[in-house]
Amino acid sequence: MKIVINHLTRMERGYVCVAGIRASTRSHIRPVTPGRRLPITIADAHGGPFGIRGVVELGDVRECGSPPLVEDVEFKHTQAERIGRLKKSAFWDLLHDVAGVRLKDMFGDDLEQVGSNLAVPIGKGIASLGCLVPAMGPRLWVNGWGKVRLVLDDTEGRYELSVTDLRLHNPEDNTPNQDAVTEMQNRLRDGNSCVLSMGLTKPWTKPGDTQARHWLQVNGIHLEDE
């Protein structure tokens, strides 16, 4: 299976999550190794095949997803191979081909606001990956707890979401790369068009909450002038 990478996500130190678009079907795919995490060495910055705009051949895969993580396919990461990279204009066109303007159209009516965030109950929802053209230019910053955050407006509300784009974090310790965040925010402020790669987490209970949920986060920020 061949995919174009548009999600490159920071996880715990030393690990990442990746996902992409299957060009033949315009559907999202998340390659996983059940029971194991993907090492950061698969990212192109560490010599691996997975990087934004990269075309990756996953090899043989087996569907293993369940709602809302329906895009999951099992693969062997040692067999993945980058076979090319889309030109910037072709990648931008592909993002717009799959993007929408309403989050519930992507993730289903079970997506609900919880405080300033959005989440889906365990076992609910219709998808866990999507691309969004925001209704207004988002605002990006590093908060007082040292986390990258983004204020997002869609057609139904305003939300403050976690940003896990690997390119905005320092690889050695997963801390925010303040220079990269500032540069990205300046380009957004200057009116650059953007598409956001959105994703739901695996279920976890947020501090202060009473139940585990799949939380919505921003896995990638893509600008037209990128």
- What is the residue extent of each domain of the chain? 2-90, 100-223
Nearest-5° Cα angle at 135, 132 to 138: 80
The letter for the amino acid at 157 is G
**Average pLDDT per run of 10 along the chain, which is 226 residues long?**
97 94 95 94 94 97 97 96 97 96 95 95 97 94 94 88 96 90 95 96 91 97 90
What is the spatial distance between Cα 96 and Cα 141, in angstroms, rounded to a whole number? 25
User: Rounded to the nearest 5°, which phi and psi values hold at 90?
Assistant: -70, -40
Give 176-183 contacts, CB < 8 A, sequence gap 24+. Answer: 176/142, 176/146, 176/147, 176/148, 178/142, 181/140, 181/141, 181/142, 181/148
Q: How far is CA 76 from CA 47, 59, 79, 97, 195, in A?
A: 17, 8, 6, 29, 29
Using one digit for the tens of pLDDT, what is the confidence trace for 169-197?
997 788 999 999 999 999 999 999 999 99
Q: For tokens 């990478």, name the residue.
A: 5
